[in-house]
Structure 1
């Protein structure tokens, strides 16, 4: 048989099972508890993992800016070439796209290596270069592979005439291609330091301009078949060069480098850049208008006689090529880019945040901090508050006055400034959050337990124990404490909800543990990012989780109200 004291101790459990809302609260809290325990199994990925993606991104210039178009496959696009009626785009994994009459079509090539450069003559002869010395030639309709001189990465190609092309690549590769016999002739670099050559373009005088890393620039003369060094006035890596039919030239590179030549015989000058991110491709027209594209969706525009300005773009995807025709202008990419501010999708149920982290995984792991602080903080509150209430109520007199005046002082200390002082004195951590919750919240519990003990200490069973010679500790913890345990359970249930809200508040204010994931911390990141007003998928889930957890605890505590107020038991 269970003793009356133990039966009274477990009375709150019976009361919970008799209340339907309490049962609902227990079920919801149980699900959240299971979510916290099995978070590594439920979450599809690490909550700190940054999600990246890659696709054939296309942005088209419009009156509203550069608008994202339907993707061309799942791999990055690297270079473009154009002739009247046909546009060619090459990319990774042997991808080639052709546009005729405004429609895109995929062409199957006899290779799957990454392709970096393409050029086409007015008659339709096209040459593609890529990794491992890959060379692909099209005469007519069929593409065929050519024999390479070395398995070096080839970066760019330009036709100098209808039957001659210059190919450049890593290790200062300079190859002259002759269409007549499909031969390759190496050209000696005047530098010979093994640097990477990244762009080549035919100049209006028939020579070729070549740019590469560390500001390296060469001029190749097909008549003498020799290359000489040029000085463009920069030591930064140059990624591309473009020459208009009138001889205006543009070279672009890292850290927003913009070098402009205003005519065939003009000097190269550095233009002021509106952004310092790396530029990957550029285009300049005879009228002085120009475009430059690069990382993080950056597109710069130049107006004749004006300055470079940042254009409005719909995406932060990395751009590697620019295609300008009489009909339109396209910016193409994309290398692997961070999936920022992605709305809910089959891949990311709750979307992604500003760093590309999966919000579903972060919310699942956030339950751990909420429940840990909620229950551990509530346990410490009960431990402190129950003992203070027992001592104050049992001993009374001066002891009671000192402890209750201490409680009054604690009531005068606001929670958020107190937590802020703790963080300043130590450092943000989970322990500080738990201490901030437990060191202030115990005051209400102490008052309630004291009031209950004041009535119990005059009961006959307490007097009988005292007459029998029981010590004060034995009377408090073996005779009085079991009788106040139902009230302790009630306060414990209430304090769990209070602790969860307190942790969410501190984390939202930036006072939570910096290396942990919590629901309040997710809301804090949303506020700092500036997207919390528009990215509803970022704010809604953690708010619903906090509300559901606190409501479930409230339903449970509601069923225990009859413990503190016996009159309610009579009504039921």
Structure 2
């Protein structure tokens, strides 16, 4: 076989460089290949990672609902205290904010420990407690906070002043500490339950004792006179996260699954209110007239008018809320725990925005190139392998063999692609192999017809007859003499089939038939459609759609240059 045959077979490589559109397509496809190969290095994060954020969210109650205010830093806010025009807000990483006349000022605490509770004494002293036994004391109004050595190293959750000189601190492991402001001494108080549960809220009751709530509905009452604590029943076995008691003795305890326990006065029984939502509540407040607020996860805010039922209040945020501050005519809801950055538009941190689960769409789009190219080229290779061999055999042998194979091709043309793929998925399970199998088992039919037509014109050529006379076998004639002459057409069909396979994979993934544990461009569009936000979250649809279009166009630009090799008439015009 002469070298001119090989030269003719590899002519497409020269034409790709000579044609500007083909060269452009080759460069673009090369860049997409680099994205696929180096996706773990280029992508800023794992494509399955859920992005969360945290900030000091503040919502203020207004006539139209709860309106989002400027954030107080980038850490969650956990508890509040108010007294005579001064408000304190404690949060994570030692953050402590002071609000006077509507102006916020961050105070220095000298600690990085998370703060979970804060309270004022009647004369303006203040205590803040938190992680790892952290206790901060402001002995005088207007003074600075200083750290005190606590006798325990557990998490301290809440603090309440009982009078001018005494306070009660509670925390995990049923820790109860009586604190004396004059001597700065801590006295451990034994819990009557002693099961190691977390105590999460403490408030001064109207009789001067301290009411404490915690896990599994645990409720204790501490008497400062006797120095003892006893168990009491509030009527719930669910975790209680917070407690508030008004000066007139109205009380509200809140907890998991929308738990609302209310007491209408110091001598009244505790009753369970019906909650309009079952999400966990983290903080509550009730006034002397029975007006109440409760806030919790996912931006849930409940309101209660005096003598009425609890209702959900309109809110501008879905961020988790952990604290309430009612000071004068202002009502503030504060948070937040880490919340999922859902439906975030493109930003400096997330170039393509985030989806409904908070996943970075830039990272997912980059990783999606791997599935697109793998299915595109592997599927196209299998299509060429099947279609070329069937076309060679059918065109070379002719007769009954040709009839049987071509009628098989006709039958294959009658099988629709999507239902066929759906049947494969139902018979087996969604996977990358099923997608490639669906593409290769149906797309080869066009290739087989084209190769057969070319072989029919080649099998009567002199060089084929000479090979027969020389005693060459049929397989040798087909694969060493005829195949190199149809290689330009094979290359053309390969390029076209790559684009078809990429579109086919995107279609199957968009319909939910793609590999479930893989990231693909069609799968990204599928998630956008299922979320219901695909019409509004434009940043979700455009990148994968544009990348599919760009990849397919680059492949077709390359195939355009190969038409010159496959079509003698176009070659003559050149």
Indicate conservation of the 8 Å contact 2:118/2:159, yes or no. yes
SS of aligned partner of 1:209: strand
User: Is the deviation greater in 40-49 or in 50-59?
Assistant: 50-59
Q: Which residue of 2 aligns with 1:67?
A: 67
Q: In structure 2, what is the Cα distance between the partners aligned to 1:61 and 1:398?
A: 84
Indicate conservation of the 8 Å contact 2:509/2:520, yes or no. yes
Q: Which residue of 1 aligns with 2:357?
A: 355
Indicate conservation of the 8 Å contact 1:84/1:122, yes or no. no
Offset of residue 484 of structure 1: 0.7
Q: Which residue of 2 aligns with 1:336?
A: 338
Distance change in 2, residues 1:2/1:541 (3 Å): farther
Q: Which residue of 2 aligns with 1:6?
A: 6
Question: What does 1:132-151 correspond to in 2, within 5 Å?
Answer: 132-138=132-138, 139-140=140-141, 141-151=143-153
Q: Which residue of 2 aligns with 1:102?
A: 102
Q: In structure 1, what is the Cα distance between the partners aligned to 2:364 and 2:167?
A: 53
Question: What does 1:26-65 correspond to in 2, within 5 Å?
Answer: 26-65=26-65
Q: Pick from 258, 263, 284: which aligns with 2:286?
A: 284
User: Is the deviation greater in 119-128 or in 428-437?
Assistant: 119-128
Indicate conservation of the 8 Å contact 2:346/2:539, yes or no. yes
Q: Which residue of 1 aligns with 2:18?
A: 18
SS of aligned partner of 2:363: helix
Q: Pick from 166, 190, 197: which aligns with 1:188?
A: 190
Q: Which residue of 1 aligns with 2:246?
A: 244
Indicate conservation of the 8 Å contact 1:340/1:354, yes or no. yes
What are the superposed Cα offsets for residues 22-75 of structure 1, whole Å, 9 maximum, x if unpaired? Answer: 100000000000110111111112111222222222222334433332221222
Indicate conservation of the 8 Å contact 2:291/2:304, yes or no. yes
Q: In structure 1, what is the Cα distance between the partners aligned to 2:387 and 2:242?
A: 71
Q: In structure 2, what is the Cα distance between the partners aligned to 1:37 and 1:145?
A: 54
Offset of residue 424 of structure 1: 0.4
User: Is the deviation greater in 344-353 or in 30-39?
Assistant: 344-353
Q: Which residue of 2 aligns with 1:205?
A: 207
Question: What does 1:207-226 correspond to in 2, within 5 Å?
Answer: 207-226=209-228
SS of aligned partner of 2:515: coil
Whether 1:570 aligns to 2:569 is no
Indicate conservation of the 8 Å contact 1:245/1:286, yes or no. yes
Q: Which residue of 1 aligns with 2:462?
A: 460
SS of aligned partner of 2:365: helix
Question: What does 1:117-516 correspond to in 2, within 5 Å?
Answer: 117-138=117-138, 139-140=140-141, 141-516=143-518
Q: In structure 1, what is the Cα distance between the partners aligned to 2:88 and 2:331?
A: 14
Offset of residue 512 of structure 1: 0.5
User: Is the deviation greater in 144-153 or in 380-389?
Assistant: 144-153
Offset of residue 187 of structure 1: 2.9
Q: In structure 2, what is the Cα distance between the partners aligned to 1:110 and 1:28?
A: 55
What are the superposed Cα offsets for residues 452-488 of structure 1, whole Å, 9 maximum, x if unpaired? Answer: 1111112222222222222211111111111111001
SS of aligned partner of 2:556: helix
Q: In structure 2, what is the Cα distance between the partners aligned to 1:40 and 1:131?
A: 37
SS of aligned partner of 2:285: strand
Offset of residue 145 of structure 1: 2.6
SS of aligned partner of 1:287: coil
Q: In structure 2, what is the Cα distance between the partners aligned to 1:552 and 1:286?
A: 72
Indicate conservation of the 8 Å contact 2:417/2:442, yes or no. yes
C-alpha RMSD of matched pairs (Å)? 1.7
Structure 1 runs (4+) deviating above 4 angstroms are none
Q: In structure 1, what is the Cα distance between the partners aligned to 2:65 and 2:411?
A: 61
Q: In structure 2, what is the Cα distance between the partners aligned to 1:564 and 1:5?
A: 14
SS of aligned partner of 1:351: coil
Whether 1:85 aligns to 2:52 is no
Give structure 1 stretches of 5+ with no counterpart: none
Q: In structure 2, what is the Cα distance between the partners aligned to 1:487 and 1:464?
A: 24
Offset of residue 15 of structure 1: 1.9
Q: In structure 1, what is the Cα distance between the partners aligned to 2:195 and 2:41?
A: 52
SS of aligned partner of 1:245: coil
Give structure 2 stretches of 5+ with no counterpart: none
Offset of residue 566 of structure 1: 2.4
Paired residue total: 572
Q: In structure 1, what is the Cα distance between the partners aligned to 2:33 and 2:379?
A: 16
Q: In structure 2, what is the Cα distance between the partners aligned to 1:3 and 1:116?
A: 82
SS of aligned partner of 2:295: strand
